[in-house]
Amino acid sequence: MNLPRPTSFVLLAFVLLARPGFAQINTVQTVAPGVYFHEGDPRRGHSNNGWIVFDDFVLVIDANYPSGAKIVMPQIAATTEKPVRFVFNTHHHADHAYGNQLWADAGATIVSSTAALAELKSVETGAFGGEPGRWETSAKTRPDVAATKLKPPVLLFPRDLFVDDGRHRVELLWLGAGHTKGDAYAWLPKEKILFTGDACVNGPRNNVNDGDLGEWIKTLELVKQLGAEKVCPGHGPMGGPEIIVNQQVYLIALRREVKALMDAHKTPAQVKAALPDIAAAIKQDPRAAIYAPPNLTAHVQKAWTELGGEPLPK
């Protein structure tokens, strides 16, 4: 999830913190023996984190922003004396990968799907010999980013990578495009726990800019087949399999309402004028309603352009 403009970000944070579950932010929750979840602080743009304690080391899910990593690191140390050996980037976005350097400096190897690294290279051009990219832009507004540097993942997998010490088994899985083309999941089949990154969030926290809504819906169908009983999303509180269902229901509703306007040959201006009606239609399903942000423009524009429409007027 990339940071919105400061004013809208502060408003969104206020709304989110007023919701149930605020007390869980920046606290460690035990999901199962040796498996932990940490809900990040939306006021600072932080993602959620997870970690699994193996016999000899720890695997961390998502690097967070540097400031988020600094919060999580001592909390991991409070749960185990074992070293963090692997940090898994579920995807390339700033709040999930910009803390990589801190973890690497502490001895961890950064892991991701090959697709996530490809996307990192496409937007972090300044780090790969091109013009300044997203990192440099973020560094202008975030001191924690400016004080460190981008560290790409070095242990890569095209589709899956398993970590298994007999006690815990974690399957890192790329199942298809969604929130980004590089989305990957951390699946614990014994405990039936799934860490989703931003392929699933809990609440009005979706960033669709780098996504593919049609493929996202299809990929979530595969995710449901894993049979997760506990779901740890990229943002928002932990929950059960309803998080996966609700995420998919929202995307289906969004795409359905926009396609109806496309089929009716509406103009971009008419689509923009119909935003309140689109929101009302989506919110008729309570499962989708909890995912609808206060302003649907970016989501509707994404669905509209995916279907072949011209950008909505500003």
Q: What is the CATH number of the domain that holds 211?
A: 3.60.15.10
Q: Quote the domain boundaries for residue 287.
A: 253-306
Q: Where are the alpha helices (DSSP H) in 50-184?
A: 66-79, 94-97, 100-105, 114-123, 134-139, 143-146
Residues 287 and 154 in one domain: no
Distance CA 254, CA 309 (A): 15
314 is a domain residue = no
277 is a domain residue = yes
Give residue-wise pLDDT tens across range 238-275: 999 999 999 999 999 999 999 999 999 999 999 999 99
Q: How many CB atoms lie within 10 A of CB 267?
A: 13
Q: Are 161 and 111 in contact (CB under 8 A)?
A: yes
Give residue-wise pLDDT tens across range 37-56: 999 999 999 999 999 999 99
Q: Is the pLDDT of residue 5 over 60?
A: no
313 is a domain residue = no
User: Structurally, how many domains does the chain consist of?
Assistant: 2
Amino acid residing at 86:
F
215 is a domain residue = yes
Say what the pLDDT of residue 7 is.
34
Residues 26 and 119 in one domain: yes
Q: Where are the alpha helices (DSSP H) in the chain?
A: 6-17, 66-79, 94-97, 100-105, 114-123, 134-139, 143-146, 213-224, 242-263, 268-273, 275-282, 286-289, 297-306
Residues 99 and 156 in one domain: yes
311 is a domain residue = no
1 is a domain residue = no
Terminal Cα distance for the chain, rounded: 22
pLDDT band at 293 (very low <50, low <70, confident <90, very high): very high
Residues 25 and 173 in one domain: yes
Say what the pLDDT of residue 23 is.
66
- Output the six-digit token pair for 232: 């740890």
Residues 150 and 197 in one domain: yes
Residues 283 and 180 in one domain: no
Say what the pLDDT of residue 22 is.
59
Distance CA 212, CA 46 (A): 23
36 is a domain residue = yes
Mean pLDDT of 116-124: 98
Q: Are 74 and 49 in contact (CB under 8 A)?
A: no
